[in-house]
Structure 1
Amino acid sequence: MPDASSHRPRRLLGACLALAWLFVHQPTLADDALMTGVHAFLYEQAQGHGEEVVIEVHPPSAHLPPCEAPQPFLTHASRPVLGRVSVGVRCGEEGRQVRYLQAEVGVIGDYPVAARDIAPGTTITDELLETRRGDLSRLPRQAVLDEAEVLGQVAQRRLASGSPLQAHQFQTRPLVERGQQVTVEAQGASFRVTREGEALEPGGEGERVRVRFANRDLITATVVGDARLAVDF
């Protein structure tokens, strides 16, 4: 029968390995500062979407060195800070070291939906929309959060009543049609000149459209109203 004392080295080795694992995977004060900084950064970015913000930041890899003077930034600055997001962090005084963390951001807030079925080609007005409240992170990636973004635009497809709005479902209402006779205004510091021409393509407010004049000259002007364009000097 083996002596019980022969198992002691194995038990001691196992205990040492367990303590080493705990030491390696235990978050350090530097990790805490990094997580706190990223959490505060995401809260600042997301709080404009709603009143209640819930953020979960996944801890950094245990194999990375501490991040000194963390400076968080968004890897996709053009996207709303909702749902799963990637956060870059510059480390060190000069920010030469960069690492990336993953986080989940949930925001309870208001968003517009179709108040009734909307047919393609319909110009969007206040009466066609209503407000819902919920977790904005569960909406489609291109969801519209501010109805002002689509007011005056035209629905490209049928929108079902109660459905969230998505940016790709709309287009700017054309103020200029292809082949239409338009007025082009050129204005400078001390002069203002208007000419009549033919639009060679359609365009909505703020879009640039080519115009051909009777003498065959071509210019590109900005749509500023119904059949009206402007050129700045």
Structure 2
Amino acid sequence: MRRPSLKIALLLALAIGGQNARAAASAADAARHFLEQHNRHLGQRVEVEVIRSGTHWPDCHNPAPFLPANGQSGWGRVTVGVRCDADRRARYLQALVRVFDHYWVVRENVPAGTEITPPLLQKRQGDISALPRGVLRQLQDIVGLVASRPLREGSPLLQHQLSKPPLVARRQSVTLVVSGEGFRIAREGQAMDEGAKGDMVRVKLEDRQIISGEVTGPGEVSVRGNGR
């Protein structure tokens, strides 16, 4: 039997390679569109770069992209799966997802303990997917909080850098409000802990009882039921 000529072998290789490239391109295009639509709610603009792999791709009709259930972030480097009509076997591509939107930075150096007010803030536009985790982007989530550490001019505001202002100080005289169905009792006591709104603190009463309650206002701690 005569062996195929080198020319025929090369033509076959080129044809198969071209078919694989077209299949991979079809899958990549479907993955890109899928990630753009899936993440469009994250910002004003989404850019997706699919990183081609050397995996053999069959003729990929009706590629169906999906996200693996691995809890990965919506942006940054992500893995996206694709199933093709031919065999429905899952194949995977890597992609880089960038999200562009506005965020807030401090317009000057801010000392620790400073309450964040609108004049201290400046709006910026950029790649929010490149920002550190925990960045606060909504004005209502920032204003009124207190810097728990010094903030440098131009830096974004991160959740762990800010805290709620304390409404109750340790050893402060407070009003303890105990309420339930059909009754409400107010007693004076001394706070044993510092707390912001929603925090749980202990209150020592005149008879030395210690009751835990929730900070509900300046100098006010509330308890449902008997609070003991």
Q: Is 1:194 the counterpart of 2:186 in the alignment?
A: yes
Counterpart CA distance in 2 for 1:73 and 1:191 is 53
The one-letter amino acid of 2:10's match is G
Are the equivalent residues in 1 in contact too, given 2:135–2:157 (CA < 8 A)? yes
The one-letter amino acid of 2:49's match is E
Distance 1:126 1:62, change over 3 A: same
Q: Summarize the alignment of residues 86-97 of structure 1 with structure 2, pairs less than 5 Å apart.
A: 86=78
- In structure 1, the residue matched to 2:118 is 126
- More deviation, 27-36/59-68: 59-68
- In structure 1, the residue matched to 2:35 is 38
Q: Is 1:13 the counterpart of 2:6 in the alignment?
A: no
Q: Summarize the alignment of residues 1-233 of structure 1 with structure 2, pairs less than 5 Å apart.
A: 9-27=5-23, 33=30, 35-43=32-40, 45-46=41-42, 49-50=43-44, 52-58=45-51, 62=55, 72=67, 75-76=70-71, 81-82=74-75, 84-86=76-78, 102-233=94-225
TM-score, normalised relative to structure 1 = 0.72
The one-letter amino acid of 2:15's match is L
Give the number of equivalent residue pairs: 217
**Structure 2 residue ranges without an equivalent (≥5):** 84-88
Counterpart CA distance in 1 for 2:109 and 2:28 is 51
- In structure 1, the residue matched to 2:86 is none
Report deviation, 1:174.
1.3
- More deviation, 54-63/199-208: 54-63
Report deviation, 1:63.
5.4
- More deviation, 159-168/68-77: 68-77
SS in 1 for 2:155: coil
Identity of aligned residues (%): 31
**Structure 1 residue ranges without an equivalent (≥5):** 1-5, 92-96
- In structure 2, the residue matched to 1:3 is none
Counterpart CA distance in 1 for 2:111 and 2:216 is 27
Counterpart CA distance in 2 for 1:100 and 1:191 is 62
SS in 2 for 1:20: helix
1:25-82 CA-to-partner distances (Å, cap 9, x unmatched) read: 4337677555533331122x32xx33x33233446884589898655478558x6x44
1:140-197 CA-to-partner distances (Å, cap 9, x unmatched) read: 3332212322211111222222222222221221111222222222233322222233
Counterpart CA distance in 1 for 2:92 and 2:216 is 44
Report deviation, 1:122.
0.8
Are the equivalent residues in 2 in contact too, given 1:38–1:57 (CA < 8 A)? no
TM-score, normalised relative to structure 2 = 0.73
Counterpart CA distance in 2 for 1:71 and 1:8 is 42
The one-letter amino acid of 2:119's match is E
Distance 1:120 1:88, change over 3 A: same
